[in-house]
Amino acid sequence: MEDLVIRDADVVDGSGADSYRADVVIDGGRIVSIVKEAAAAGCQRPRAVRELDAEGLVLSPGFIDMHAHSDLALLRDPDHSAKAAQGVTLEVVGQDGLSYAPVDDRTLEEVRRAVTGWNGYGEDIDFDWRSVGEYLDRLDRGVDGRGIAVNAAYLVPQGTVRALAVGWEDRPATPSELDRMRRLVAQGLEQGAVGLSSGLTYTPGMYAGDAELTELCRVVAAYGGYYCPHHRSYGAGALEAYAEMVALAREARCPLHLAHATLNFRGNEGRAPELLDLLDRALDAGADITLDTYPYTPGCTTLAALLPSWAGEGGPRETLARLADPATAERVRHALEVTGSDGCHGVPVEWETIEVSGVTDPALAGHVGRTVLASADLRGETPWETARRLLVEDRLGTTVLQHVGHEENVRAIMRHRTHTGGSDGILRGARPHPRAYGTFPRYLGHYVRESGVLGLEECVAHLTGRPAARLRLPDRGLVREGYRADLVLFDPETVAPGATFDEPRALPAGIPHVLIDGRFVVEDGRRTDVLAGRAVRRTPV
């Protein structure tokens, strides 16, 4: 007998095609047969060791989070309900140009400091890897050698590669340094990475010019990977920044996936059609472009990310030294508040839009949940004085929400023919962005059932089949015979995020069952102790 039959499910198969009713049989971690309209056909129903009645539930492929920051969470948290409870069965990590491989001892320490606000410093992690392949092997072993909660794919982080080969200096790479970066990217792809990420408003990745990035993308293209940039601006000059990435990818003949694609800040309200026209023209001319978004208007990053790029040159220690010097700190303030720093997307910061979501020093917890302006008013000081105090005392580890988005832009972009879902979920902090826990049920609940922005079959394709195609996964992302049984069962009438800005870690409703490799990681709405996730490596060209 087979392991499991899921009876009378409404199958939404991830292709965008109409749903159908079927019995789905699973054995050995794969879908072995699909019997459509089994009850009505009057034929003998398939049998299995276990039978699950799915009446009233949609059966879809597992959701693929195309932009995740679970690089360390997967190793420290065997439960990982933040993603498992949403129906996420695969996350893509190594995002925004900064992660933990490839590194040497120096670079690892620098990166840990730089992204403390994203993932914590990692004092609870045994960093027993240095290469991309070793990191993927570590994901395979996971927690106590038992694996990880969900599957994970990895992007080689361009900023980390630059830190390793060049350092944190704002200068062009020498020919020998560029050769080393090419080799590091090639090695990462050979060892299983699916592409290359950049964070072009984050140091040191933002110090790379287009010629340098193009050379690295040529390597990515040769291995069948894709380039995933957080580009140089989502504010002033955002459309020009998108055009820059499109032109760069065209020059390198490299597939392009635009990270958390949106248009923010006042000057970009209602401008999504301009972005979509840019992308459509490139697609019609033969470009290979996809994008991901999260279904919320606020963004989330670190407070330090808003600083001008020159303030980050040399790494975190030098940044803190500059902030401690009154004259240099005044230059930073002027860049932030008057001219608009490149770290803040070229827009003068509006402190009333910057809400503190997490701190690493418990003594600073009183700032959490308040805007920088509100905290400053309570302390009787200027917003910059409060921000500077947070940056220095929290050792650059403060995370913030930026309330700078526009709902009409969010809706327009999610309708695009190349759209996929990505949470961009930062899991650290007392009040993280609810997108970390709510992105996928929010798509299905708010934007499908309540608002009708997307149809159900269309939305599921955005979250499953389309991202699997971008990742070149031959046996995931669709409900098909022979495919891996990474599946979600949800109630289309009740699926909804539990997470809110006030309760950001509340789990979703209406997702009773989640399977990875045919094993229940969520059963009857509760997280099991199953660790079925592993590293998902690049499919060779």
At 38 the three-state DSSP class reads helix
Cα–Cα dist 298/84, whole Å:
23
For 273-314, the DSSP string reads: HHHHHHHHHHHHTT--EEEEE-SSS-EEEEGGGGS-GGGGTT
Beta strand 519-523 with 513-516 is antiparallel
- CA 107 to chain centroid, in Å, comes to 22
Task: Kindly indicate the confidence band of residue 1, based on its pLDDT and cuts at 50, 70 and 90.
Answer: confident
Q: Looking at the DSSP assignment, which residues form a beta bridge with residue 36?
A: 22
pLDDT score for 42: 67
Residue 517 has pLDDT above 80, yes or no: yes
Residue 41 has pLDDT above 80, yes or no: no
pLDDT in tens, 48-80: 999 999 999 999 999 999 999 999 999 999 999
459, 420, 457, 449: which is closest to 509 by C-alpha? 449
Residue 107 has pLDDT above 80, yes or no: yes
Residue 202 has pLDDT above 70, yes or no: yes
Cα–Cα dist 100/72, whole Å:
9
User: What is the mean predicted confidence (pLDDT) over 305-326?
Assistant: 96
User: What is the mean predicted confidence (pLDDT) over 436-443?
Assistant: 98
Cα–Cα dist 475/482, whole Å:
7
User: What is the mean predicted confidence (pLDDT) over 450-456?
Assistant: 98
CA distances, 336 to each of 191, 330, 422 (Å): 40, 10, 29
pLDDT in tens, 481-508: 999 999 999 999 999 999 999 999 999 9
pLDDT in tens, 386-398: 999 999 999 999 9
Task: Kindly indicate the confidence band of residue 44, based on its pLDDT and cuts at 50, 70 and 90.
Answer: confident
Task: State the pTM of this model.
Answer: 0.96
pLDDT in tens, 317-366: 999 999 999 999 999 999 999 999 999 999 999 999 999 999 999 999 99
The length of the chain is: 541
Show the CA angle centred on residue 111, arms to residues 106 and 113, nearest 5°: 100
Cα–Cα dist 191/380, whole Å:
54
Average per-residue pLDDT in the chain? 97
- Calculate what percentage of the chain has a pLDDT beyond 90: 97
User: What is the mean predicted confidence (pLDDT) over 414-436?
Assistant: 96
Contact between residue 34 and residue 25 where contact means Cβ atoms under 8 Å apart: yes
Residue 40 has pLDDT above 90, yes or no: no
Q: In sequence order, what are the residues at sequence separation of 6 or more whose Cβ sits closer than 8 angstroms to the Cβ of residue 346?
A: 233, 235, 236, 237, 340
Beta strand 30-36 with 20-27 is antiparallel
Q: What is the dihedral of CA 426, 431, 433, 436, to 10 degrees?
A: 50
374, 334, 368: which is closest to 351 by C-alpha? 374
Residue 85 has pLDDT above 70, yes or no: yes
Task: Kindly indicate the confidence band of residue 425, based on its pLDDT and cuts at 50, 70 and 90.
Answer: very high
pLDDT score for 159: 98
Q: What is the dihedral of CA 324, 329, 330, 332, to 10 degrees?
A: -170
